[in-house]
Amino acid sequence: MQFAEAGEGYVVDRLFASSVLTASSPFASPLGTRLVYILRSIATRTTRHCRMWPRTTAVLALARSGSILAQDATATTLSPPSQPLSTGTIGAFNIIGNSLVSAQQMFLGTPDKVFMLDKVENNAAQINGHPAWASQWALGSNQQRPMDAVTNTFCAGGISLGDGTWINVGGNQAVTYGGDATGNPAGGGPYDDPDGGKSIRVLTPCDDDSCEWVLAPSMTTKRWYATLETLADGTAIIIGGCSNGGYVNDAGQDNPTYEFFPSKSDPIYSPFLSEQLPINLYPLTWLLPSGKLFMQANRATILLDPHTHTEFPLDPMPDAVRAYPASAGSLMLPLTPANNWTATILFCGGSDNDDWSTDWDIAAMPASTSCVRITPDVAGSYTKDDPLPEGRSMANLIVLPTGHVFCLGGATQGTAGYGNQSWAIGMSYADSPALMPAMYDPSAPLGSRWSRDGLSASTVPRMYHSSALLLPDGSVLVSGSNPNSDLNTGPNVKYPTEYRTELFYPSYFNQRRPEPSGLLSQLSYGGDSFDVQLSSDDLGGDARNAENASVVVIRTGFATHAMNMGQRFLQLDSTFTAYGDNNTATLHVSQLPPNPAILAPGPALIFVVVNGIPSVGLQVMIGSGQIGEQTTLPIGDLPVSTFVVGGGGALSSWPWSAAQVDENASRGRSALVWAVWWLGGFLVVPMVWFVVV
């Protein structure tokens, strides 16, 4: 358990909230509630003054107080979210149009704007006199515009920074028809696409059509298939890659280094990356609450300290290769108060293969069904999870506001990649598309986590170079698929360059959505809590549903190659006051845990979920809105969850019942006895310790 990473006071809060303030506790009364506040204050102060008391080490690492510091002055109250603009067929995919470019890469820049990037090819959409390989899609109007990505973005990586800008890094050399190299790094020819291998392209998303991709100073080395992750200071780490591409990497073109943007140093050599040849492209990487980076490639796993550049080996990956081109689905599972915001990473599918030559029929090889998970800040070993319903490579795993994980796309045979081998399906190294999605519940018991209840199949194969992304309305945007060296469409092409774009509608989509008020435009690492109001309609006409309300923050990530770089789900700690007379409620919501490594600074979506139905997400800024060290503050106190009964204002701690309300008087009397017990536990014992020592 990474106690120090969770923020001060977690243990003290949980002690009082879950032990003292249960329905059967004598503190579940107006008098008892007041006594609890006194006791909690004493307990918190006592633990602070006993920092050498061995028995309370975990508590001390987490002790917190109510912050007297004001919320960041730049935070404002957002207008309540409205209802989705449309309805859809629940559990099904609906084609909403054709994209201008095949969405090999995709991210949500603003609540209304999705940005897509392709490799350079002969798209019909034109920009500045040549085919476009980037575009913007406005969700509200369904309008698109081509964009100029300046250099070749083929198999680039991307991420958002702490100030809200997005970067797209690396790519391929300049090409002409058929994806053949021009030999001219400056571009020219029919596509006019300069070499993108050293490029860092920067976009500041906007709500109109004024934002464009611009080039930052180039890297010193080429990076094709590089992974990016945002760090706790809002900078990005750029990991690995190669110079010229191919099905897998080789020593002649390997770039086993990492660097940072904005730059902090020359590229730094990674023994891990070098040792994992040939499967070290797009290494699977996550920032952990400990501040270390989890990295997985081939069958090896390490933790990397990005400050000391030390690598710590973990156990090898079981069952299958997960990294590109085996391309398993992978994501970090929800970080919640219940798991103390401890990171667990899930891997599903991939390929149990060790022969990465192309002189055999790769497209006929069954994909793996294996799923495993690891909690790397706690233990270095993988554990088995429920297997996929069928084997998959190139599956996309998208976390929904409910905490469920939506699995879609990919193939049941073969791997990522394309080529001209006789066994290739057209040019595809995969076959047998996985059209039927599945839903994973990380909180369900082992043996029952996967379900297909209420789900329908897509009609569009999503093979190599497809992508998927959660949208603010809770639907999932699905686009791309292009296992071809250049534009290739037509009735006889089994896996063509794909422009058809779909929306998937989860079970909650057509339900009346909560419209909470009081959400903030900016969240800090610690600081004062804030209140969110829920109406009777938001609660389904029953104030008791406040018990099933939560506030979650999701970074949807940069989607490409069966990954969403930076995708993360964090539930904020919260309590509530529910009002029985009008069936409304106030959610009392903590800021983020005071540790930027749990959720790095930058843009994200915030949702309020009631009984499994999320509000429409609003875009918020995590942290200061600047690149640099983030301020952390003590976490503000949350009141105990309570229910105000009727107009008389009778108070009851949660959960309540009619019998409990009748018992408040007797509980108030016995609360005095509990008070003496807790005072003894938190005052007498430390005093004895001081005397003995």
Per-residue pLDDT reduced to its tens digit, 348-393: 999 999 999 999 999 999 999 999 999 999 999 999 999 999 999 9
User: What tens digit of pLDDT does each residue of 146-193 get?
Assistant: 999 999 999 999 999 999 999 999 999 999 999 999 989 998 889 999
Alpha-carbon distance values, 25 to 17, 433, 575, 640, 654 (Å): 11, 56, 18, 13, 11
Percentage of the chain beyond pLDDT 90 is 81
Over residues 35-83, the pLDDT tens digits come to: 433 444 444 333 333 322 222 222 222 222 222 223 344 789 999 999 9
Predicted confidence band of residue 653 (pLDDT cuts 50, 70, 90): low
Higher pLDDT, 645 or 237: 237
- Which of 371, 367, 376 has the alpha carbon at shortest distance from 296? 376
3 state DSSP class of 23: coil
Cα 507 off chain centre by: 20
Q: How confident is the model at residue 647 (pLDDT cuts 50, 70, 90)?
A: low
Q: Per-residue pLDDT tens for 431-447? A: 999 999 999 999 999 99
Residue 654 pLDDT level (bands cut at 50, 70, 90): low
Q: Which residues of 109-121 are buried (b: 16+ CB within 10 A; e: fewer)?
A: bbbbbbbbbbbbb
Among 405, 410, 448, which residue's Cα sits nearest to residue 429? 410
How many residues would you count in the chain? 693
Please name the residue that has the structure tokens 């990465």: 356
Please determine, for residue 671, whether its predicted confidence score (pLDDT) is greater than 50: no
Dist. CA 469–CA 457, nearest whole Å:
18
Cα(536)–Cα(21) distance, rounded to whole angstroms?
Answer: 26
Distance, CA of 441 to CA of 423 (rounded, Å): 38
Query: Mean pLDDT for the chain?
Result: 87
75-124 pLDDT, tens digit per residue, is 899 999 999 999 999 999 999 999 999 999 999 999 999 999 999 999 99
pLDDT of 648 above 70: no
Mean pLDDT of the region 458-467: 99
Q: Which tens digits make up the pLDDT trace of 593-623?
A: 999 999 999 999 999 999 999 999 999 999 9
Mean pLDDT of 229-244: 98
Q: Does the pLDDT at position 132 exceed 60?
A: yes
Beta strands in 497-641 (DSSP E): 500-504, 522-523, 525-527, 530-534, 549-555, 558-560, 563-565, 568-572, 574-579, 584-589, 602-610, 613-614, 618-622, 632-635
CA distance 646 to 153: 61
Given a contact cutoff of 8 angstroms between Cβ atoms, the answer to whether 421 and 465 are in contact is: no
pLDDT of residue 36: 39
H or E stretch covering 14: helix 10-14
CB atoms within 10 A of CB 647: 10
pLDDT of 652 = 57
| Greatest alpha-carbon span in the chain | 87
pLDDT band at 203 (very low <50, low <70, confident <90, very high): very high
* Bond from prior residue into 686 cis (ω within 30 degrees of 0): no
When pLDDT is cut at 50, 70 and 90, the band that residue 655 belongs to is: low
Separation CA 392–CA 326 (nearest Å): 9
Q: What is the model's pLDDT at position 645?
A: 85
Helices (H) and strands (E) in the chain, counts: 7, 47
Q: What percent of the chain has pLDDT over 70?
A: 83
What's residue 490's pLDDT?
Answer: 85
Say what the pLDDT of residue 74 is.
Answer: 73
Q: How far apart are CA 304 and CA 206, in angstroms?
A: 35
How far is 397 from 436, CA to CA, in rounded Å? 13
Q: Is the pLDDT of residue 421 over 50?
A: yes
Helix (H, G, I), strand (E, B) or coil at 363: helix
The mean-pLDDT minimum among 323-327, 534-538, 644-648, 672-676 falls in: 672-676
User: What is the C-alpha to C-alpha distance for residues 81 and 57, in angstroms, rounded to an integer?
Assistant: 42
Residue ranges of the chain that CATH labels 2.130.10.80: 93-504
CATH 3.20.20.140 fits 93-504, yes or no: no
Distance between CA atoms of residues 675 and 40, nearest Å = 11
Give the Cα separation of 123 and 140 in Å (integer): 24
**What's the whole-number mean pLDDT along residues 276-303?**
99
Q: What angle do CA 557, 559, 562 make, to 5 degrees?
A: 120
